[in-house]
Chain A
Amino acid sequence: MSDKTTAPGHAEITPPQASSPTREALAMFVRNRAAVLGLLLLAFVIGATFAGPFLYRVDPFAVVGAPFTAPGDDMDVPLGTDHIGRDILAGLIKGGGPTLAVGLSAALITVFIGVLVGALSGYYGGFVDEALMRFTEFFQVLPPLILAMVLVAIFTPSLATIAIAIGVVSWPATARLTRAEFLKIRELEYVKAARTIGANDKRIIWRVILPNALPPLIVSATLVVGVAILFEAGLSFLGLGDPNVMSWGLMIGSSRQYILDAWWSITFPGLAIFLTVLSVSLIGDGLNDALNPRLRER
């Protein structure tokens, strides 16, 4: 019962009422054609990633045809083969899982660090804020990709190190956003009310302020997924992917020298990355319009 006291009418994520802010936002999102397109696109990518390996059972590392088979030349390998003779379509299907997994977990790490730093900084202010913001500024000085390269190279490439490295280099923006939200919300009436009835800092930060700061954070988290996928692709392209796991970036990276001999071995995986990130960006834009109606056109 005590949950009811936190923030009446605001904090509920899945409220039962008919016209709640969540419902309105949902309705607005569905009306946004671009966002729905993004959702469908993402559903297709996820579907292909999960169902694909069962429908198309070809090992993406196995040599299945003549090298440099162009798409359509040999119907056993519909999208052609790369310079070794590996099936491009199999790579696309098998490469989606790791790409999405790294993107998602990196985004989770980013959001976790960012929200933690931003929340503490914005809530406590003063010395804590000063120290944490200096720390954040320090991270913003380090060029993200170069730092990620260093981290992955030092701690040997694997899906885990790649996800952690991406998280470690991308959190500052989320931290700043969270801090700004916290600075704004902590002065509001209901936060004061919560304090008056004796809620401690921990409770106010996580149960009172954070739920109300969620809309912009959800939008930024969505976009972070897209950025993380691009990061993963970039690292794999630079030869810092996990060499034992097929991913779209790895496909492009391993075919980069043969760009003029086999355009398809680069074009298709790149298209897959592009469409996935595009779908996430479209969803993020739609969420932004739905959750922060006043911030549209930003």
Chain B
Amino acid sequence: MRIAGLIVKRLFYAAALVLAVLVLNFLLIQLAPGDPADFIAGQMGGVTQEILESIRKDYGLDRPLLEQLWIYLKRAATGDLGYSYYFNSPVVTLVVSRIPATILLILSATVIALVLGTWMGVMAARRPESWFSSLLTVFALVGYSAPAFWTGMMLIILLASVIPIFPVSGMYDITLKTGPLGHAVDVAHHLVLPSLTLGIIYIAQYARLSRASMLEVLSADYVRTARAKGLSERVVVFKHALRNAILPVITVTGLHFGHLLSGAVLVESVFNWPGLGTLAYDSILRRDYTTILGLLFFASLMVVAANLVTDLCYRLADPRIKSSRG
């Protein structure tokens, strides 16, 4: 199968990108003002001279630059991205432990944005001149122009304080003693506001995109044929047209992953959601550079993976695409 060769090629390219991110991390350590050992230790930790010495030795900081890079890459290959003296934990363990919470937030935000956005886009495309269509344009601009962290805070004021139906922050209630099902409900309850905040930015974008792509598809010949056959409008729109119209939305969704992660950093920090974003905020606050660089690495890794998955899904979903772009 051609697809196997394609996957191998893509994986190889993805590996090259990951390697490049590591090199960038290394360069950032070198470019930072001051002593790299201080930098690796993190400025705010009460680091002793002994620790600094051991860092110099471990990272070979007295060796030539290329050798240092080699040492850095070798350590990274064994899963060692340094040690956070502030959090008192290896960076890899620390970052990996925060990934599930962020993925949960990003996925729920994406589902909210995709479902609501596509639905709104389809509705608007069916009547392009209606007030709903114009409202959508306004909504898109508003969603795009409001800072995510501010939207989140406004939602907190509105739906956690004035009308207190959702919790203000966190991922679960530690005082709550329930079984796994109760815990899941509790997490879902905490998840509503953060995922809505993150989703709002994209609802509008997906709505506009699916509206444009739907308008194009609805004027296609096969849609006219379907209507001429006497199929109900519902079937024509949702079964025939949407299937094709949604393809560009899917691609864009995959490509948004990096931006979603960026948005998640802000939203998590507002809601104290215990994922990568809160970790980023805490480590920036403490100038814990090793952690923030480890975070940059894992975040990039996630983007590479997301791009890979999107690419393959897209090719599988649409048989018309040949691997010409290789």
Contact = CB atoms under 8 A, between A and B. Distances in A.
Contact of A281 (B21, B145, B211): B145
A147 B285 CA distance: 15
A237 B149 contact: yes
B228 interface: no
A92 to B, nearest CB: 14
Interface stretch (B112-120, B293-301, B314-322): B293-301
A233 interface: yes
Interface stretch (A7-15, A107-115, A260-268): A260-268
Interface in B131-161: 141-142, 144-150, 153-154, 156-157, 161
Contact of A233 (B147, B157, B285): B147
A146 B258 CA distance: 9
Contacts of A280: 145
A271 B266 CA distance: 17
Contact of A285 (B141, B211, B270, B289): B141
Interface stretch (A62-70, A148-156, A183-191): A148-156
B28 interface: yes
A143 B149 contact: no
Contacts of B289: 153-154
B287 A153 contact: yes
Taking residues whose C-beta sits less than 8 angstroms from the other chain, chain B's interface range is 35 or more
Nearest to A140: B258
A278 B150 contact: no
Contacts of B31: 154
Interface in B197-216: 211-212, 215
Given A155-B33, A266-B153, A146 B147 contact: no
A281 B212 CA distance: 19
Given A154-B32, A282-B141, A239 B156 contact: no
B154 A238 contact: no
A252 B147 CA distance: 11
B253 interface: no
Contacts of B20: 138
Contacts of B146: 270, 273-274, 277
A164 interface: no
A259 interface: yes
Interface in B271-294: 280-281, 284-285, 287, 289, 292-293
B47 interface: no
18 contacts: A141-B17, A141-B300, A142-B21, A143-B265, A145-B262, A145-B263, A153-B284, A153-B292, A233-B147, A233-B150, A234-B149, A234-B266, A238-B265, A238-B266, A256-B153, A274-B142, A274-B145, A278-B141
Interface of A: 137-138, 140-147, 149-151, 153-156, 226, 230, 233-234, 237-240, 249, 252, 256, 259-260, 263, 266-267, 270, 273-274, 277-278, 280-282, 285, 297-298
Given A146-B292, A239-B284, A260-B168, 8 more contacts: A142-B299, A144-B258, A153-B284, A238-B280, A239-B281, A274-B146, A297-B211, A298-B212
Sort A-B residue pairs by CB-CB distance and give the 3 closest, nearest first. A145-B262, A270-B150, A278-B145
